[in-house]
């Protein structure tokens, strides 16, 4: 369908109309353009810009270059967990003056790629938006507590947006799982059920205060609670049952303060950012072998993590249109972990105490960025940067003894010590934007990048639901890569675009699953366990197509199709078999197609969404797991856009009631050395979801 859409678009180029509005190479969308979609928040409008896709980069290091391709009043939101899309999702539509779409290389903001949306807001008038969204689905309790409320306004010179929401969720799956031995003989037939329930209330604040004509202060902050229970039950008739509950009760908060002051020909910014998260997690499993034994296993872990960042930027423009930015940043990240695994029953009680682990990273970065124009039309932005970082891992088993250990064997997972490593890495990028003609734009980006590590990979953990343990790896280093991307945009009409994109990455130190040897006191390998580690090299290539088409040309007035598709090819040498395979969790292809029809001269709309993805494969030292959704996930909605001044939408999700399949093959040890232990073949249905959405503005 995507290919047909592209061919139709190419055939229709002769029908191209002028852009919605054009100003200095920027495409301008006024609020009136979005009226037929009845948006309630600023992000609803951004998502309706033709041919524009929000590109989020949540794994960026610090507050430096990059991030989401959305600006607010020409400025990046200098936060991490709360980015521009979060602020705009809580910004009422009445505050939007216009939305500007421009090539990243033509802007004075560093590190962005492709198209960028600049949302111009005016909060001088008090306005608000609200939404209530209950949901009902097969196999799960109703969701009654999902909703949002946001207010924007101005008090004196101070303007603000405050948003409250609760992103609650309910889930439920059920179905059979067949278990086979290494010879392919059926050994068990399990009936399984899974349910999840979570609440995620939060508050977000965005404040801007002009201290003087030359100085302004901005604050972005959020605080949230996150509580979730995931329950899984597996039953083998008249033989055994397994009941597992995984519970988390988290809270987190973050804040970013930015002071801007005009100095000389440019603007100096000083930014301070702080984030903290507290996450206690408990998993408990009850395994009942009928008439024989009853075993209770529990893994309890408490995580505290945080990040502190200080950043300074100075940017200015010369009379010839050349822009400069020099920036420096210091960041400190940490994670503290305490964990205990216990098992009672089955003839013996055992407590395994993992070491208290603290992981720290101190990082310093400096960058110089220059923007300029060549040959009148070619916009270029180039940046040279470098970073120094030190990673420290501190392990200690001597300070904590678990309670309630009477009569049990207590085992300390030894690991006391301190290990520090430092690195120096060059970074940088160059971006290009070239308007080939009134209808075609060419953009490119080439970059040397450094990835962000997850400190959770440094510590050991136990997943009782998957019946496996994973070792922590204190020798991890961040990925580095040479990245390239080229995209061609075709403007078909004032409301239609098609974008073709090719990108690739040459990766060093790929973070993936690796074998991890378990050593005895003499340093000899006595076992092997799975861990996250680094692989020497890998490649990733992608070809993507996305765009927006109106159906008027086919005789259906008021209809619109938004689509995107991606084909991906990845290669890495498997650390276990030494054969070439794909990168774990990177599917070969995925697509999303949305159709919406706003019926002319009526307040009604309806639409469909189709989404599909190739098998997702995870490779481990002793296991290959393949997750598959054999049919596209389908959603249908109907909408009344003016029900007593409100919007009423009814959505049916998982319309085809598709099943979710997983095949898991487990070997007795390393895949290349040992026979297959068992094979699990799972199929679960998620059930249809019925969602009622009622929303409005004030």
Confidence of residue 187 (pLDDT cuts 50, 70, 90): very high
Tracing tokens 């890998």 back to the chain, one arrives at: 538
Q: Which residue has the higher pLDDT, 291 or 337?
A: 337
* Phi, psi for 505 (deg, rounded to 5): -135, 130
What was the pLDDT predicted at 24?
58
Q: What is the pLDDT of residue 652?
A: 97
Indicate if the pLDDT at residue 576 is higher than 80.
yes
Query: Binning pLDDT at 50, 70 and 90, where does residue 138 land?
Result: confident
pLDDT score of 427: 92
- What is the predicted pLDDT for the residue at 109? 76
**Tens digit of each residue's pLDDT (9 = 90 or more) over 114-130:** 789 999 999 889 999 99
Residue with tokens 């099943």: 659
Check residue 419 and give its pLDDT: 86
Cα–Cα dist 637/653, whole Å: 9
Dist CA 506 CA 479 (whole Å): 10
Residue 526: the pLDDT is 66
What mean pLDDT do residues 441-445 have? 94
| Whether the model pTM is above 0.85 | yes
Phi, psi dihedrals of residue 559, rounded to the nearest 5°: -95, 155
**Using one digit for the tens of pLDDT, what is the confidence trace for 488-519?**
999 998 889 999 999 999 999 999 999 887 76
pLDDT of the residue at 255 = 95
Confidence label for 57 from pLDDT (cuts 50, 70 and 90):
low
Q: Give the whole-number percent of the chain exceeding pLDDT 70.
A: 91
Strand partners, 277: 252, 305
Between 404 and 472, the higher pLDDT residue = 472
Report residue 640's pLDDT band, with 50, 70 and 90 as the boundaries.
Answer: very high
pLDDT value of residue 6: 35
Over its C-alpha atoms, the chain yields an Rg (Å, rounded) of 27
106 phi and psi, to 5 degrees? Answer: -90, -5
Sequence length of the chain is 698
Which residue, among 542, 450, 424, has the nearest Cα to 487 in the 3D structure? 542
Cβ neighbours around 212 below 10 Å, total: 9
Residues 6+ apart with CB under 8 A from 585: 616, 617, 618
Average pLDDT, the chain: 88
**Per-residue confidence (pLDDT) for residue 241, from 0 to 100:** 92
Per-residue pLDDT, 81: 75
Rounded Cα distance between 457 and 469, Å, is 12
Return d(Cα 689, Cα 62) in angstroms, integer: 38
Q: What is the mean pLDDT of residues 37-63?
A: 83
Given a cut of 60, is residue 5 above it in pLDDT? no
**Would you state the structure tokens that stand for residue 289, as one six-digit string?**
């072998």
> In this predicted structure, what is the pLDDT of residue 64?
62
Burial 308-329 (b: 16+ CB within 10 A, else e): ebbbebbbbeeeeeebbbebeb
Q: From start to end of 375-460, where are the E strands?
A: 378-396, 409-412, 417-435, 440-450
Terminal alpha carbon distance of the chain: 40
Q: Report the C-alpha gap between 168 and 181 in whole angstroms.
A: 40
Chain segment 514-557, per-residue pLDDT in tens: 988 776 667 676 677 888 999 999 999 999 999 999 999 899 99
Per the DSSP assignment, residues forming a β-bridge with 487 are 443, 501
Cβ atoms of 272 and 310 within 8 Å: the answer is yes
């Amino acid at each position: 369908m995507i290919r047909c859409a592209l061919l139709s678009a190419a055939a229709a180029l002769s029908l191209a109309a002028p852009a919605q509005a054009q100003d200095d190479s920027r495409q301008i969308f006024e609020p009136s353009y979005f009226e037929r979609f009845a948006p309630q928040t600023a992000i609803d409008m951004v998502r309706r810009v033709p041919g524009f896709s929000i590109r989020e980069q949540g794994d960026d290091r610090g507050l430096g270059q990059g991030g989401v391709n959305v600006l607010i009043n020409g400025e990046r939101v200098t936060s991490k967990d709360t980015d521009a899309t979060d602020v705009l999702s809580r910004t009422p539509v009445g505050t939007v003056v216009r939305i500007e779409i421009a090539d990243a290389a033509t802007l004075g903001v560093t590190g962005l790629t492709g198209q960028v949306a600049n949302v111009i807001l005016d909060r001088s008038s008090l306005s608000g938006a609200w939404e209530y969204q209950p949901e009902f689905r097969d196999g799960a309790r109703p969701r009654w507590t999902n909703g949002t409320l946001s207010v924007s306004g101005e008090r004196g010179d101070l303007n603000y947006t405050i948003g409250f929401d609760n992103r609650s969720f309910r889930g439920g799956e059920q179905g059979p799982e067949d278990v086979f031995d290494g010879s392919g003989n059926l050994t068990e037939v399990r009936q399984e059920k899974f349910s999840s329930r979570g609440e995620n209330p939060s508050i977000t604040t965005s404040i801007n205060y002009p201290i003087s004509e030359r100085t302004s202060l901005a604050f972005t902050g959020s605080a949230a609670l996150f509580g979730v229970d995931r329950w899984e039950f597996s039953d083998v008739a008249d033989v055994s049952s397994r009941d597992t509950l995984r519970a988390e009760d988290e809270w987190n908060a973050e804040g970013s303060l930015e002071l801007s002051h005009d100095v000389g020909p440019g603007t100096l910014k000083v930014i301070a950012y702080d984030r903290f998260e507290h996450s206690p997690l408990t998993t408990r499993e009850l395994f009942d072998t009928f008439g024989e034994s009853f075993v209770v296993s529990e893994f309890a872990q408490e995580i505290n993590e945080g990040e502190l960042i200080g950043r300074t930027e100075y940017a200015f423009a010369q009379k010839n249109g050349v822009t400069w930015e020099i920036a420096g940043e210091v960041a400190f990240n940490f994670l503290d972990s305490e964990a205990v695994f216990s098992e009672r029953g089955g003839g013996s009680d055992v407590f395994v105490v993992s070491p208290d682990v603290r992981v720290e990273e101190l990082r310093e970065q400096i960058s110089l960025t220059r923007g300029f124009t060549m040959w009148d039309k070619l916009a270029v932005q180039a940046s040279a940067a470098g970073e120094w970082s030190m990673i420290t891992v501190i392990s200690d088993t001597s300070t904590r003894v678990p309670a309630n250990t009477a009569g049990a064997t207590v085992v300390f997972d030894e690991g006391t010590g301190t290990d520090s490593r430092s690195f120096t890495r060059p970074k940088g990028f160059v971006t290009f934007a070239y308007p080939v003609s009134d209808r075609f734009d060419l953009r490119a980006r080439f970059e040397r990048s450094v990835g962000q590590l997850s400190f959770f990979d440094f510590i050991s953990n136990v997943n009782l639901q998957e019946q496996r343990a994973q070792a922590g790896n204190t020798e991890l280093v961040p990925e580095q890569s040479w990245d390239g991307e080229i995209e061609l945009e075709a403007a078909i009409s004032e409301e239609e675009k098609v974008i073709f994109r090719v990108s690739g990455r040459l990766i060093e130190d790929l973070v993936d699953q690796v074998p991890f040897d378990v050593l005895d006191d003499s340093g000899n390998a006595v076992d092997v366990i799975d861990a996250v580690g680094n692989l020497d090299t890998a490649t990733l290539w992608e070809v993507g197509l996305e765009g927006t088409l109106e159906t008027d040309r086919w005789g259906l007035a008021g209809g619109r199709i938004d689509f995107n598709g991606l084909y991906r090819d990845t290669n890495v040498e498997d650390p276990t078999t030494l054969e070439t395979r794909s990168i774990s969790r990177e599917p070969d292809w995925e697509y999303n197609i949305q159709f919406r029809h706003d019926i002319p001269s009526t307040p009604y709309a309806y639409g469909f969404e189709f989404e599909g993805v190739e098998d997702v494969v995870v490779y481990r030292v002793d296991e290959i797991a393949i997750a598959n959704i054999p049919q596209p996930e389908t959603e249908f909605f109907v909408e009344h856009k003016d029900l007593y001044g409100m919007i009423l939408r009814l959505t049916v999700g998982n319309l085809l009631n598709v099943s979710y399949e997983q095949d898991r093959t487990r070997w007795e040890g390393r895949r290349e050395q040992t026979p297959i232990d068992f094979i699990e073949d799972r199929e679960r249905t998620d059930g249809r979801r019925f969602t009622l959405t009622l929303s409005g503005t004030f």
